[in-house]
Structure 1
Amino acid sequence: MILANIPSPPQGVWHLGPLPIRAYALCIILGILVALWLTVRRYTAMGGNPDTVWDAAIVVIPAGIIGGRLYHVATDYDKYFCADCNPVDALKITNGGLGIWGAVALGAIAVWVMFKIKGIPMGPFADAVAPGLVLAQGIGRLGNWFNQELYGAETTVPWALDIYYRVDAAGRNAPISGRSTGEIIASVHPTFLYELIWNVLVCLFLLWAHRAWKLGHGRVFALYVAGYTLGRFFIENMRVDEATMVFGFRINAIVSVVVFIIAIIVFFSLKKGKETPVEVDPKYHAALAEKQQEDGDEASESTDSSATPGKS
């Protein structure tokens, strides 16, 4: 007997006149905003220049979206490049489909180039961004809930997710853009919820480990990668959506194992200990020291001037 199922949203797209408002896109935007807020707080507390976070956002957000989409299209190419497919759909990001591996990889490369140009160590920034990044990924999974996608096998567990039949204005089947008829197609494992919960737990663990273990030099980011891939491996194997298979396994499950191993090796290879605030951003602290010196000189000159007797 089903005790209490989780309902899917009745729709994932709303229209303001001709403008479609997609829940998937809103979830991604919300995740980005939360990640930026947490990263600014953490990077500033570590001694970094908060403006650097906003500079990085300008670079990493478009690079991450492009990289994520490229990975998704490359690993699910048969959905976009087949006899009955429309290749233009590969550009429709709001319909769903962003591969986290491509997003992190291209985003990291873009930020690395920016930090190289600026002459700022990237390790502290990577450590600052890691908890917010995994939390943003969890928030983004809510978009899959609205789109009724990436779920698991049918089940009778109390927290099963009800998938509704959706139709468009003409009554045609429209799983993503349509509106629910109230008819339940299946009750399945809510893998979006499993990953959301896992990501929140990883975020909290990273916040704790950063302080308790005095991590630095990029080790928090390596721990994020290891933690995320550990959970993703099991959750990926619960999903029943179509996926590219390699040697009989889902490609994202294979990537999870490979990246997990690399992350663990990197974690133990990186330098131990935390950076001092000056080490986090030497140029920023040099500029602050210079500004303080200038302010001190101006204050001294003002004092000397006020102490000089006026002429009669």
Structure 2
Amino acid sequence: MAVAVALTSRRLTARGGPSGAVLDIALWAVPFGIIGGRLYHVITHPTDYFFPGADLWKTLYVWEGGLAIFGAILFGSLGAYIACRRAGLRFLSFADALAPGMLLAQAFGRLGNYFNQELFGTPTTLPWGLQIDPTQPAFPTGLPEGTLFHPLFLYEILWNLLGVAIILLAEKHLNLRWGRALGLYLVIYGMGRTWFESFRLDPTEFELGGFKINMLIATLVAIAGILLIIVQSRRHPEPETDPMLPIRQGGSGTPADDVCVPSDASVPGAPGRGRQG
């Protein structure tokens, strides 16, 4: 989280955003993300929490593990959207600034999977195979102790770091504003996660139509990213000159999407500078 906040703050400020805004947004996004991550985990692992005699309070025991990234992204985005509206900042401008920092933060977060012996794949004889304690719930029945498995957490770390490099390099040559950097993030992460989930071992994996729910969600995420890039490229071929929302007419200072005030205009009663649409 700290890595994402630091990088995003630097990128957003360089684009004309207010200093300190990213930390304010994080105060909304992080709690929403934790709630969403836990909710998604519980829903997709129902047999871990809902059975005869189960203690339903354990659905709230985040400290025992179980936060899903897709739920965290969805609910965290909702919290970030609310915070952006309060700050008069375009959500997509914030999301574009966040995109590489998000992948970098996810790469750091995956290090925890090594210590917890989580997120590993099918058996392998490759020299970088991961040894898992046979007492782990995901350890396949019938395999001998000492079997090596694909270190999916490591694959995702490397994939995410590659994604960071792709976004940063692409921004030097392409117009990745107006939500297009966010779209590229969704494509990169969605594609990688779809592949990783195809050979991930999970003892309580929720399925839908015979497919792992995480594979389906990851595929939809990648498709959503492609659509976002296409739509925003058609809607906004022009450069983004200001990450701030335009100010509503009438001097209330309330941001609105449909009314633009020139950057050199003076708006009586409105806080801060005029904002360019």
Which of residues 257, 267, 274 is equivalent to 2:239? 274
1:119 corresponds in structure 2 to 88
- Counterpart code for 1:260: A
**Residue equivalent to 1:134:** 103
**Which is higher, the Rg of structure 1 or of structure 2?**
1
Aligned to 2:196: 235
Q: CA deviation at 1:234?
A: 0.5
Residue number in structure 1 paired with 2:227: 265
TM-score where L is the length of structure 1: 0.72
Among candidates 187, 190, 193, match of residue 226 of structure 1: 187
Q: Which runs of 5+ in 2 are unaligned?
A: 138-143, 248-262, 265-270
Equivalent AA in structure 1 for residue 67 of structure 2: L
Aligned match of 1:190:
151
Unaligned runs of 5+ in 1: 1-31, 166-172, 177-182, 291-312
Q: Output the CA distance in 2 between the equivalents of 1:86 and 1:190.
A: 33
Q: 2:38 aligns with which of 69, 87, 107?
A: 69
CA distance in 2, matches of 1:189, 1:137: 19
Separation (CA, whole Å) in 1 of partners of 2:65 and 2:99: 23
Amino acid at match of 1:104: I
Deviation of 1:288 after TM superposition, in Å, equals 6.8
Q: Do the aligned residues in 2 keep the contact of 1:217 with 1:272 (CA within 8 Å)?
A: no
CA 1:238–1:190: 2 relative to 1, 3 Å: same
The size of the alignment, in residue pairs, is 243
CA shift for structure 1 position 215:
1.3
The structure 1 segments of at least 4 consecutive aligned residues displaced by more than 4 Å after TM superposition are 285-290
- Distance in 1 between the 2:188 and 2:215 partners? 14
SS state of the match for residue 172, structure 2?
A: helix
SS at match of 2:132: strand
Q: Which amino acid aligns with 1:118?
A: A
Shift of residue 114, structure 1, vs aligned partner: 2.1
Q: CA deviation at 1:117?
A: 2.9
Look up the match of 1:102. 71
The residue number in structure 2 matching 1:250 is 212
Deviations 1:114-163 (A, max 9, x none): 22233321221110011111111111111111111121111110100011
Q: Is the partner of 2:133 in helix, strand or coil?
A: strand
Residue 40 of structure 1 deviates from its aligned partner by 1.0
Q: Which amino acid aligns with 1:266?
A: L
Shift of residue 84, structure 1, vs aligned partner: 5.8
TM-score using structure 2 length: 0.81
Alpha-carbon distance in structure 1 between the residues aligned to 2:198 and 2:57: 29
3-state secondary structure, aligned to 1:156: coil
Contact 1:164 1:186 in 2 (8 A): no
Q: State the identity as a percent.
A: 39
Deviation at 1:112, TM superposition (A): 1.2
1:86–1:238 Cα change, 3 Å = same
1:201 is aligned to 162
Q: Secondary structure at the match of 2:224?
A: helix
* Residues 198 and 231 in structure 1, CA contact (< 8 A), matched pair in contact too: yes
Contact 2:119–2:153, Cα closer than 8 Å, also in 1 = yes
- C-alpha distance 184-38 of structure 1, shift in aligned 2 (>3 A): farther
Task: Call closer, same or farther: CA 1:144–1:84 in 2, change over 3 Å.
Answer: farther
Q: Distance in 2 between matches of 1:34 and 1:253?
A: 27
Q: CA deviation at 1:88?
A: 2.9
Counterpart CA distance in 1 for 2:16 and 2:2 is 21
- Once residues 253 and 263 of structure 1 are traced to their aligned partners in structure 2, the CA distance between those partners, rounded to angstroms, is 15
Match for residue 297 of structure 1? none
**CA RMSD between the two structures:** 2.4
- Contact kept, 8 Å, 1:63 with 1:106, in 2: the verdict is yes
